[in-house]
Amino acid sequence: MELLDYTCLSCDHIELILILLLYGDNSMVTLAQINQLLQSCDELKNKTDILKASGKWSTAKFIYFPEVSIKKDSLNDYLSQAIQTDRQTLKSFETSKSMALDFLQKKKYSAAASKLQELMQELTVEHSFLLDTFNSTQLTKKPTVTSSDLQEFGNVVHDLCCAELAFRFNISAYHYLLTTILSTAKEFLTSEEKIQHVDLDSLYADVSNKFETLKEVLAEYEEVKIIVRGHLDDVKKDLPPQKSGTLNESRKPVNEGKKKLRNSIKRASTRSLTYGVRYDDPREETSSDSLSDEEANKETPATNPESNLPEPHQTDTTSENRNLKRTEFELALGILKDKLDKLSKKGETDKDYKKAKAAAMNLLVALTQAHKNYFIDKNSDLATFKKDCMDAIKPAREELANHRGWSEFLLNLTHVVLSIATFGLVNVASVLATGRYRFIPTVKTDSEQKLDEFATVVNSL
């Protein structure tokens, strides 16, 4: 049989042939294509100030950030909110990615694919809000002609800044989501077993189209900046001398720029709760100029997450939230199983580890049963789930806390249980890139005292 000469083929062509041989027609997307799109995302970030950490929230790079401070509706307050929420939002995306990669490592491919699909759903939402944010009366190539009234000029500038804050926040989330999805998706290309769980062709096409949208919006934004800034400079020439602190002291009850910003903040804070990331908004106002119109109230729940959380003893929740909490708990069970395997190996040569192995096994069995009762059979409520888990953790602690790493794990596990039982009221942080759960600071060797202190907090919930 005549051998084929592959020396003339490029790496991309060879990769495509290998993919076709391994997976047939299941996927035509190659690792090179995904890496190329990732590189394009990075290149766009490197040459665009609004996507850089140093320029994203730099007021000097805004279209028209006022020098005079505004009293009640301080733009600096809104800027702080946007920065904080942006940080938490990106963290929530990273959490989902880390969970997906951890599932892949544990060969839980369906669960990993589900996490990737969640990120794609988030991208669809961000795409919609990005277009909505940019389609405003403030960020436009045809700015509204303002009068020479100083107060009216202040109102226009204020609304413009709020609209731009919302736009910058959405751009940040949108771009980060693109890179997060691509870096997660390429991990599915490493084996036939993984690739069968994801439609990478559709995913790649969707992400590619949304990347093109991002480039188009950013290009248009640069044009808008020049036009609007020039327009406001012309208007400002005819304004009377302004007095410090006089701008915007009497606001109009409804303004589009602020509404878009608040919608963005609300959407992100809700997402942070869904992913178990606490979002605090100490500057939340209840004044009549916040989102008072009926339509805005329907889009998102209240900004302050604590104001609309269910009571800890409530026994029902949405299907989506229940699935997310199930995923968190199953990941914790997976970590427990890994630690049990390590104890088993040590127990083969060291009798001191046999009791620890038995304690860990009893804990795993009890938690697995609690998981089955609540998440699968659905014949127990949240209060029962919490009690079953805590009753299992308590005796395990007495034996396992003497072994390195177990005190921290049990404390983290307690945090997972409480997060589920209180609908996210307990602040569960993210999974780090190392795959280790870190919900609170590392527990030191003498952590029994800390566990007792934490038990007091648990009982008060």
Average pLDDT over residues 28-40: 87
- Whole-number Å distance between alpha carbons of 292 and 262: 11
- Whole-number Å distance between alpha carbons of 455 and 402: 18
In a domain, residue 8? The reply is no
- Whole-number Å distance between alpha carbons of 359 and 367: 12
Find the DSSP H helices in 275-317. 294-299
Judged against a pLDDT cut of 90, whether residue 42 lies above it is answered with yes
Q: Which pLDDT does position 444 carry in this prediction?
A: 38
Check whether residue 262 and residue 222 sit in a common domain.
Answer: yes
Which carries the bigger pLDDT value, residue 358 or residue 457? 358
Q: Examine the fold and report which residue of 274, 307, 340 is the final residue of a domain before the chain moves on.
A: 307
In a domain, residue 356? The reply is yes
Ranked by mean pLDDT, which of 167-171, 236-240, 329-333, 419-423 comes out on top? 167-171
| Residue 295, token pair as written in the block | 């339509």
Q: Provide the pLDDT confidence category of residue 382 given band limits of 50, 70 and 90.
A: confident
Q: Provide the pLDDT confidence category of residue 127 given band limits of 50, 70 and 90.
A: confident
Which residue in this structure is represented by tokens 């495509």? 16
Domain span including residue 390:
319-460
Check whether residue 152 and residue 237 sit in a common domain.
Answer: yes
Of the candidate ranges 36-45, 188-197, 325-334, the one whose mean pLDDT is the lowest: 325-334
State the SS3 of 121-148. Answer: HHHHHHHHHHHHHHCCCCCCCCCCCCCC
- What does the DSSP 8-state code read for residue 374? I
Q: Which pLDDT does position 273 carry in this prediction?
A: 36
Q: Examine the fold and report which residue of 307, 341, 370 is the final residue of a domain before the chain moves on.
A: 307
Nearest Cα to Cα of residue 414 among 349, 317, 332: 332
- Whole-number Å distance between alpha carbons of 358 and 338: 14
Check whether residue 354 and residue 422 sit in a common domain.
Answer: yes
Check whether residue 423 and residue 456 sit in a common domain.
Answer: yes
Check whether residue 143 and residue 217 sit in a common domain.
Answer: yes
In a domain, residue 43? The reply is yes
Strands (E), 115-273: none
In a domain, residue 15? The reply is no
Check whether residue 217 and residue 364 sit in a common domain.
Answer: no
Check whether residue 253 and residue 113 sit in a common domain.
Answer: yes
CA distance to 84, 260, 284, per residue, from 427 (Å): 16, 27, 20
Which carries the bigger pLDDT value, residue 287 or residue 316? 316
In a domain, residue 14? The reply is no
| Residue 22, token pair as written in the block | 């391994």
Check whether residue 302 and residue 324 sit in a common domain.
Answer: no
What are the b/e assignments for 418-428, b being 16+ CB within 10 Å? bbbbbbbbbeb
CA distance to 18, 113, 257, per residue, from 31 (Å): 11, 17, 41
Is 207 within 8 Å of 302 (Cβ atoms)? no
* Surface-to-core class of residue 106, CB atoms within 10 Å of its CB (0-12 exposed, 13-18 middle, 19+ buried): middle
Sign of the four-CA dihedral 347, 108, 435, 399: negative
What are the b/e assignments for 64-96, b being 16+ CB within 10 Å? bbbeeebeebebeebbebbbbbbebbbebbbbb
Mean residue pLDDT of the chain comes to 69
Overall number of domains in the chain: 2
Check whether residue 255 and residue 293 sit in a common domain.
Answer: yes
Q: How many CB atoms within 10 Å of residue 406?
A: 22
Check whether residue 357 and residue 449 sit in a common domain.
Answer: yes
Q: What's the pTM value of the predicted model, to 2 decimals?
A: 0.53
Q: Which pLDDT does position 243 carry in this prediction?
A: 55
- Phi/psi at 444 (nearest 5 deg)? -80, 180
Judged against a pLDDT cut of 50, whether residue 442 lies above it is answered with no
Check whether residue 207 and residue 295 sit in a common domain.
Answer: yes
* Surface-to-core class of residue 100, CB atoms within 10 Å of its CB (0-12 exposed, 13-18 middle, 19+ buried): buried
Average pLDDT over residues 13-24: 43
Check whether residue 42 and residue 145 sit in a common domain.
Answer: yes
In a domain, residue 1? The reply is no
